[in-house]
Amino acid sequence: MNDTSSDGLNGHGAENKGDNYDNSSSNGGGDDDIHTNLIVNYLPQSMKQDEFVQIFSSVGDLKSAHLVMNKNTGESLAYGFVNYKRREDAEQAISTLNGLKLGPKVIKVSHARPSSEEIKGANLYIAGLPKNMPLQQLESLFGKYGTIINSKIINDSIGGVGFIRYDKRVQAETAMKELNGNVPPGLEKPIVVKFANPTTSQSQQQQPQNNYILAANRFSPGPMRYPGPGSMRTGTANNRSNRFSPMGSVNPNMSAPAPPFYNSFEGSSGWCLYVYNLSPEVEEQHLWQLFGPFGAVQKVNIIKDPVTGNTKGYGFVTMSNRDEAEIAIHSLNGYALDNRVLQVSFKTNKKR
């Protein structure tokens, strides 16, 4: 649907030279590659290298073919390159294989841009789009800064996020500088524009800090459970009582016990604490250090303005176990950090 794929480099050179050998090596591989090297997108994930070769070699002799794979896992990344010996075969491959249905997939076969560093990492992520913004509108906004190779908008009930892949990374950088934090014509709030994550797919992704969390977590995180009065954890100095009232006396403003929340990002549940009055100097690592001794910490997040990067003075700490979270609250609410008195409580749902 939204698969803009205009590229300004379709060589239709109806020249001469339709042959194999061309060792005038100026930029790695042969000058004719611009006519013979193709990129194939939207392959079925299950396709293997040999099937890939088989399909494309049916059209003509190949110089090379690479199904691109994840280096670590060996999984297909669902795209690849084929380089034909003859340019007419490459053209033939485009005309006969582009749009080919392979199971649920419709593959795309097109000329590959010459390989270079400058085309890498040219994908932008755009947040803050209104719900159901036309892709066309996004493209016309971003099209000023370069050739768009691919674009996409994802909508949900809140609004949309978009992706714009440029031909060149510098174009993406320019667009980001120009548009990040701006309110584009017709929109009502600023958009956030940054480089897209390199791999935004399924399966394993970020677990950056989880490793050393685990080191500090001597207790199995386990599924969420509601500890009865007796199921306390000892070993922390502040654990005077072995019973915790649902509210404790932590924060009089708090109106309800914090619900457990499901952290779909990491696929686990936990208890989210609200930490207020952070000085600008305080970083997430400090909160890890501060809360870590009380039990397993899953996540720390200090909130910043997405545009300016300035801290908003509060953050969230997610802990695995309610009893440990309560101890942390009892212990750290009122604690002076960097000359500011912290307020620590279970997170409420003021904005959700």
Partner DNA sequence: CGACGGGACGC
**Site for DNA (CB under 7 A): which residue of 66, 178, 181, 288?**
66
Closer CB to DNA, residue 223 or residue 267? 267
Euclidean distance between CA atoms 173 and 118, whole angstroms = 11
Provide the CA 206 distance to its chain's centre, in angstroms.
Answer: 9
Phi/psi of residue 75, each to 5°? Answer: -75, 150
Q: Are 90 and 110 in contact (CB under 8 A)?
A: no
In the complex, the smallest distance separating the C-beta of residue 29 from DNA, rounded to whole angstroms, is 5
In the complex, the smallest distance separating the C-beta of residue 229 from DNA, rounded to whole angstroms, is 25
317 by Cβ neighbours in 10 Å (0-12 / 13-18 / 19+) ranks as buried
Enumerate residues 108-127 that contact DNA by CB under 7 A.
108, 110, 112-115, 119-123, 125-127
Stretch that binds DNA, among 73-81, 174-182, 206-214, 215-223 (CB under 7 A): 73-81
Q: Are strands 268-276 and 311-319 parallel, antiparallel or unpaired?
A: antiparallel
Q: Are 317 and 297 in contact (CB under 8 A)?
A: yes
Count of residues in contact with DNA, rule CB under 7 A: 88
In the complex, the smallest distance separating the C-beta of residue 14 from DNA, rounded to whole angstroms, is 23
Enumerate residues 187-226 that contact DNA by CB under 7 A.
192, 194, 196-197, 199-203
- Tell me: does residue 277 bind DNA (CB under 7 A): yes
Enumerate residues 311-340 that contact DNA by CB under 7 A.
313-314, 316, 318, 340
**Which segments of 57-159 are extended strands (E)?**
62-69, 76-84, 101-102, 105-106, 108-111, 123-129, 148-155
Amino acid at 30: G
Euclidean distance between CA atoms 321 and 224, whole angstroms = 7
Q: Are 161 and 129 in contact (CB under 8 A)?
A: yes
DSSP 295: S
Binding mask 30-49 for DNA (x = CB under 7 A): -------x-x-xx-------
Stretch that binds DNA, among 103-111, 170-178, 216-224, 287-295 (CB under 7 A): 103-111
**Site for DNA (CB under 7 A): which residue of 60, 160, 184, 295?**
160
Stretch that binds DNA, among 147-155, 220-228, 285-293, 322-330 (CB under 7 A): 147-155
**Site for DNA (CB under 7 A): which residue of 55, 272, 278, 319?**
272
In the complex, the smallest distance separating the C-beta of residue 50 from DNA, rounded to whole angstroms, is 16
- Tell me: does residue 250 bind DNA (CB under 7 A): no
- Tell me: does residue 140 bind DNA (CB under 7 A): no
Euclidean distance between CA atoms 184 and 190, whole angstroms = 7
Closer CB to DNA, residue 84 or residue 294? 84
Tell which residue, 193, 201, 154, has the closest CA to residue 172.
193
- Tell me: does residue 231 bind DNA (CB under 7 A): no
Stretch that binds DNA, among 84-92, 173-181, 206-214, 342-350 (CB under 7 A): 342-350
In the complex, the smallest distance separating the C-beta of residue 237 from DNA, rounded to whole angstroms, is 26
Tell which residue, 2, 23, 272, 330, has the closest CA to residue 138.
2
In the complex, the smallest distance separating the C-beta of residue 225 from DNA, rounded to whole angstroms, is 20
Euclidean distance between CA atoms 207 and 213, whole angstroms = 10
Q: Are 181 and 190 in contact (CB under 8 A)?
A: yes
- Tell me: does residue 104 bind DNA (CB under 7 A): yes
Enumerate residues 169-188 that contact DNA by CB under 7 A.
none
- Tell me: does residue 256 bind DNA (CB under 7 A): no
Structure-token pair, residue 258: 């914090």
Amino acid at 193: V
In a 13 Å sphere around the CA of 167, the CA atoms on its Cβ side amount to 14
Enumerate residues 46-65 that contact DNA by CB under 7 A.
64
- Tell me: does residue 253 bind DNA (CB under 7 A): yes
